């Protein structure tokens, strides 16, 4: 006869007399005894419950005779168990069950008492639209925002030899208050005028300087020509192929001295400086432009001439073309605002090595008929250039310290995008999250990465193939995974992972010397989800209710979804439209952004959202 030990699990814990089950495929059990000591089995019948928690209607278990589950035979006094097959129970629902014994010849005439259990609720329920195979390709440039960079490093340097033939000695005594610490570079006192020159480059984001760099001089409405079109609103910023290094003034001062000491009289001249650089992802030649707008030139200087050298610092790696200037580099004190000087220069990487880093250096020497020369040099470390023939055999150059942003095509493959957003937003390692400062690090093909790791091996850990070569999802993924044969004939379930296999963040990437950041033994350790069409026009990304719900301390995600959706979500879009376009090399960081999910909240225990926003 049936015992009174009706248990449902896992786990085998109760709340208010109801077993709390962490899946929709629970194991039900009860003890069984036989008066004759014979072996016996138990028949398990499962029922829905009404609003009061009382047994209501029997659930006819699919593919089982009479709609009930029958255990195997167990010894008298033992525990009989059955597992409810997938597809019979719903998440977050309370059920009742009871048992009846059979010893091979006699059936128990009475049912056991009732046991109750509740399946766990969903942890993920994201409502999504249909995939659109005709959605236009995204222009990833639209999502690349300027990235702030640090101030240039400024160095005092010997001046260039001016036409007068004068050359300042290397060791010059600086006037009081003009220390190298403050960026000053000073020349020798002019013996005839008793003026000592000093120069420096200083940050200056004042309205006066900004106006000078966004208008051609003062009071002139015609805008200055820009090599980089967004430089009229930015100062110290870069993109992958463009840089704006401005918001500075170049100062040249003449300190009047007497008996070796400053008298307090100072002649001032200064220029607003705007520097712009434009690289190419498909060429070894790049261009920079320097804009010099006069802010003041003391009439006592009579005139000030600037000698400007903006060069590639590594002559063994790149060559400098001739400078071309629109506007003379001499300004008269009697007419200081007469013109602006705009210079351009091309540089070409020699492409001898497969990859090189290049630094640009700018040096300005100023001198006057009444003051000897003084010079300052600067370079911007955050605007270092990397040229290569690794990402492509066609040489190209990029600002490698800029971290680009990858945006997946939501309209085309919303289900794959939802999966990536969920994992990035919910897990503590936040792969690719800019707000959490957790970039994804690119893993190119084995011949282009340091450990020689084939990214497909990462995928094999998270999404192993079945013995017949089919996808893990076709055998082990949730059977309610929906394919799209109307888009791709013969479409089959596929396994999608995040973080991507082609990254050091992948759960399949081994740790240690190989460099994996989140290694796991198998994809079973990841958050498990699947994408299903609820009705035409409405899809859902669900956590896999057949299994234990996510603990949210996992480091990776695995989702069963349409093969077409999975492959299309990355495919050529990533390699040609992003990693290739922005010349990503081994371990280069990048962000992953999900604009359509900005209204979704992943902080709750259950992640629910409708995308796009209803």
* Tens-place pLDDT, residues 343-352: 999 999 999 9
Residue 105's contacts (CB-CB under 8 Å, 6 or more residues apart) are: none
Helix and strand counts by DSSP (H, E) for the chain? 6, 37
7-121 placed in CATH 2.60.40.10 = yes
Query: Rounded mean pLDDT of 151-167?
Result: 71
* Tens-place pLDDT, residues 448-501: 999 999 999 999 999 999 999 999 999 999 999 999 999 999 999 999 999 999
C-alpha distances (whole Å) from 447 to each of 450, 519, 552 are: 8, 22, 35
- pLDDT of 165 over the 60 cut: no
d(CA 62, CA 273) in angstroms, rounded, equals 78
277: which strand partners?
243, 288
d(CA 77, CA 32) in angstroms, rounded, equals 5
Query: Beta strands 371-379 and 153-157: pairing type?
Result: antiparallel
Helix or strand run (H / E) with residue 419: helix 414-426
Is-contact 356 317, C-beta < 8 A?
Answer: yes
Cis status of the peptide bond prior to 612, with omega within 30 of 0: yes
Backbone dihedral angles phi then psi of residue 48, each to the nearest 5 degrees: -75, 170
Question: Apex CA 252: angle with CA 250 and CA 253, to 5°?
Answer: 140
Percent of the chain with pLDDT over 70: 96
Give residue 224's pLDDT.
77
Q: Cβ–Cβ contacts within 10 Å for residue 192, how many?
A: 7
* Tens-place pLDDT, residues 549-594: 999 999 999 999 999 999 999 988 999 899 999 999 999 999 999 9
Q: Residue 224 carries which DSSP code?
A: P
Residue 391 tokens read as: 């990402």
Its sign, for the CA torsion 557, 560, 564, 567, is positive
Domain range annotation of the chain: 7-121, 127-143+404-610, 147-399
User: Is 277 in a helix, a strand, or coil?
Assistant: strand
Total-model pTM: 0.92
d(CA 537, CA 539) in angstroms, rounded, equals 7
* Tens-place pLDDT, residues 97-144: 999 999 988 899 999 999 999 999 999 999 999 999 999 999 999 999
Is-contact 138 161, C-beta < 8 A?
Answer: no
Its sign, for the CA torsion 35, 40, 41, 43, is negative
């Amino acid at each position: 006869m049936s015992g009174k030990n009706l248990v449902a699990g896992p786990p085998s814990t109760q709340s208010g007399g109801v077993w709390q089950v962490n899946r929709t495929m629970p194991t039900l059990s009860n003890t069984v005894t036989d008066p004759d000591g014979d072996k016996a089995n138990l028949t398990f019948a499962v029922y829905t419950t009404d609003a009061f928690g009382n047994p209501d209607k029997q659930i006819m278990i699919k593919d089982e005779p009479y709609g009930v589950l029958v255990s195997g035979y167990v010894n008298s006094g033992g525990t009989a168990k059955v597992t409810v097959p997938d597809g019979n129970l719903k998440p977050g629902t309370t059920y009742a069950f009871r048992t009846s014994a059979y010893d091979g010849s006699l059936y128990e005439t009475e049912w056991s008492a009732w046991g109750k259990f509740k399946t766990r609720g969903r942890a993920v329920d994201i409502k999504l639209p249909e995939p659109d195979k005709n959605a236009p390709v995204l222009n990833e440039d639209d999502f690349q925002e300027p990235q702030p960079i640090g101030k240039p490093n400024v160095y005092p340097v010997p001046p260039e030899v001016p036409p007068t033939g004068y050359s300042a000695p290397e060791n010059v005594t600086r006037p009081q208050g003009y220390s190298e610490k403050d960026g000053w570079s000073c020349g020798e006192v002019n013996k005839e005028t008793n003026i000592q020159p000093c120069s420096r480059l200083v940050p200056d984001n004042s309205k006066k300087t900004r106006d000078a760099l966004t208008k051609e001089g003062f009071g002139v409405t015609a805008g200055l020509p820009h090599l980089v079109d967004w430089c009229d609103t930015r100062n110290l910023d870069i993109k992958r192929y463009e840089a704006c290094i401005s918001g500075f003034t170049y100062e040249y001062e003449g300190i009047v001295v007497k008996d070796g000491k400053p008298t307090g009289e100072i002649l001032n001249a200064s220029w607003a400086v705007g520097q712009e650089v434009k690289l190419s992802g498909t060429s070894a030649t790049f261009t920079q432009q320097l804009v010099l707008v006069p802010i003041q030139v003391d009439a006592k200087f009579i005139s000030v001439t600037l000698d400007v050298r903006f060069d590639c610092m590594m002559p063994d790696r790149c060559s400098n073309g001739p400078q071309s200037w629109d506007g003379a580099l001499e300004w008269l004190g009697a007419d200081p605002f007469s013109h602006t000087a705009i210079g351009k220069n091309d540089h070409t990487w020699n492409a001898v090595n497969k990859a090189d880093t290049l630094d640009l250096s700018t040096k300005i020497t100023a001198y006057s008929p009444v003051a000897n020369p003084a010079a300052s040099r600067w370079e911007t470390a955050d605007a270092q250039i990397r040229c290569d023939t690794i990402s492509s055999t066609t040489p190209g150059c990029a600002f490698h310290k800029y971290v680009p942003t990858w945006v997946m095509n939501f309209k085309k493959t919303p289900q794959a995008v939802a999966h990536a957003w969920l994992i990035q937003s919910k897990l503590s390692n936040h792969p690719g999250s800019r707000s959490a400062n957790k970039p994804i690090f690119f893993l190119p093909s084995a011949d282009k990465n340091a450990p020689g790791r084939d990214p497909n091996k990462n995928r094999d850990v998270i999404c192993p193939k079945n013995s017949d070569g089919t996808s893990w999802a076709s055998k082990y993924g949730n059977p309610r995974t929906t394919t799209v044969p109307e888009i791709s004939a013969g479409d089959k379930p596929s396994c999608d992972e995040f973080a991507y296999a082609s990254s050091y963040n992948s759960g399949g990437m081994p740790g240690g010397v190989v460099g994996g950041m989140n290694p796991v033994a198998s994809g079973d350790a990841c958050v498990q989800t699947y994408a299903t069409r609820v009705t035409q026009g409405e899809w859902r990304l669900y956590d896999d209710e057949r299994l234990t719900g996510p603990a949210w301390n996992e480091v990776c995600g695995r989702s069963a979804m349409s093969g077409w959706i999975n492959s299309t979500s990355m495919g050529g879009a990533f390699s040609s439209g992003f990693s290739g376009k922005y010349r990503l090399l081994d371990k280069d960081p990048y962000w992953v952004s999900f604009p359509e999910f900005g209204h979704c909240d992943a902080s709750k225990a259950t992640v629910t959202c409708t995308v796009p926003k209803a």
